[in-house]
């Protein structure tokens, strides 16, 4: 499989996937020496951590030919004061170029988009490749859900492993943590935590990426890289996982012609099913508001969505 972009997120994703020890990984970046050096470093960790050194770095796409999955992380990261949407025009051209080159070498692959603004970049990748919606999917919901699960675990003093949650909508400040579907060890969150505390966790989740940008001066990478690797697992190993991913909707949830975060069944063919949850009226209204925000960003794309 291939990871495009050898920055923090791409290199972390490549390392996580390499550690699973089931795939040959090609790390691609336009900067000479960067993907080769990071690949070599990841390979040399293999004997210590117990995986085979099968990561290669490249400045071109020839070595990526025949990939089952291509993860695109390329693009400029956020800086303090920037929203994800501020990146749209710059990263549109980068993602167009990367998706086109990768698709030419691996015409049967599943594309996993990580570049921001995520929802809009999924539209870019799908349009430039002309691929069906099943094979162009975005990584956002797993990351946003992981952040929410972390806050819930801290608030309840529970193991994060026992927190089940789902975050839907656009990958921005109007994402929708589905409180009605959130449980700790099977117990509804609303029975464990007061409403005002839940709302604080919801808000912190929505601003989770921005919080890290303000602290670090750049975007997060450990959790995003791990989230991308979980999607690669589901596809390469045909796991049929039900995961929150950014998928192209054609009427599901009452939304048509738009990439949005929803639960999907993810397997070898990519998005094999879109799962429709029973949402409360308030949650459905929030999802509508989120979809309107995403349409606004998609409308900024120079080549259309």
128-140 per-position pLDDT tens digit: 999 999 999 999 9
Residues 167 and 292 in one domain: yes
304 domain-assigned:
no
The residue whose two tokens read 């999917």 is 137
170 and 293 co-located in one domain: yes
Burial of 202-215, coded b for 16+ CB within 10 Å and e otherwise, reads beebbebbbebbee
Here the CATH number for the domain that contains residue 44 is 3.40.50.720
Which of the listed residues 138, 159, 194 is the one where a domain comes to its end?
A: 138
Residues 78-96: tens digit of each pLDDT: 777 776 667 788 899 999 9
d(CA 141, CA 147): 10
**pLDDT tops 90 at residue 67:** yes
Same domain flag for 119 and 182: no
Q: Are residues 154 and 277 in the same domain?
A: yes
Rounded average pLDDT over 140-169: 98
Q: What is the pLDDT of residue 300?
A: 85
Same domain, 190 and 178: yes
Residue 178 forms part of a structural domain:
yes
Say which CATH number the domain at 276 has.
Answer: 3.90.110.10
Residue 64 · residue 28 · CB < 8 Å = yes
Q: What is the 3-state secondary structure (H, E, C) of 168-189?
A: EECCCCCCEECHHHCEECCEEH
119 with 147, same domain?
A: no
Number of domains the chain contains: 2
User: CA separation (Å) from 34 to 7, 19, 57, 101?
Assistant: 8, 20, 8, 19
Task: Answer yes or no: is 185 within a domain.
Answer: yes
The 10s digit of each residue's pLDDT in 23-66 is 999 999 999 999 999 999 999 999 999 999 999 999 999 999 99
Mean pLDDT of the chain: 95
163 and 116 in a common domain: no
Domain that holds residue 115: 2-138
| Residues with catalytic function | 171
Tell me whether residue 77 is in a domain: yes
Q: What is the pLDDT of residues 194-240, one digit of tens each?
A: 999 999 999 999 999 999 999 999 899 999 999 999 999 999 999 99
Among residues 138, 173, 206, the one where a domain terminates is 138
Q: What is the pLDDT of residue 89?
A: 83
State the CB neighbour count (10 A cutoff) for residue 267. 19
């Amino acid at each position: 499989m291939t990871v495009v972009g050898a920055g923090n997120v791409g290199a972390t994703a490549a390392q996580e996937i390499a550690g699973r020890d089931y795939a040959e990984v090609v790390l691609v970046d336009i900067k000479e020496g960067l993907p080769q050096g990071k690949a070599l470093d990841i390979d040399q960790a293999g004997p210590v951590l117990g995986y085979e050194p099968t990561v290669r770095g490249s400045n071109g796409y020839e070595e990526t030919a025949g990939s089952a999955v291509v993860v695109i992380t390329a693009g400029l990261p956020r800086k303090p004061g920037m929203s994800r949407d501020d990146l749209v025009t710059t990263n549109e051209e980068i993602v167009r170029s990367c998706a086109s080159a990768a698709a030419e070498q691996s015409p049967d692959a599943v594309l996993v988009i990580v570049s921001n603004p995520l929802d809009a970049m999924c539209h870019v990748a799908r349009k430039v490749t002309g691929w069906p919606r099943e094979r162009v999917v975005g990584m956002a919901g797993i990351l946003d859900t992981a952040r929410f699960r972390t806050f819930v675990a801290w608030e309840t003093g529970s193991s994060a492993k026992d927190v089940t949650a789902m975050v839907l909508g656009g990958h921005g400040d109007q994402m929708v943590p589905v409180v009605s579907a959130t449980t700790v060890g099977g117990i509804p969150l609303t029975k464990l935590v007061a409403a005002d505390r839940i709302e604080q966790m919801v808000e912190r989740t929505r601003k989770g990426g921005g919080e890290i940008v303000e602290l670090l001066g750049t975007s997060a990478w450990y959790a995003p890289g791990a989230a991308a690797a979980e999607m690669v697992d589901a596809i390469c190993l045909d796991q049929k996982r039900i995961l929150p991913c950014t998928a192209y909707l054609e009427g599901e949830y009452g939304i048509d012609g738009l990439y949005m975060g929803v639960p999907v069944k993810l397997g070898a063919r990519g998005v094999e099913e879109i799962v429709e949850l029973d949402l409360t009226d308030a949650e459905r209204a929030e999802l509508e508001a989120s979809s309107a925000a995403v349409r606004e960003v998609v409308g900024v794309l120079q080549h259309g969505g």
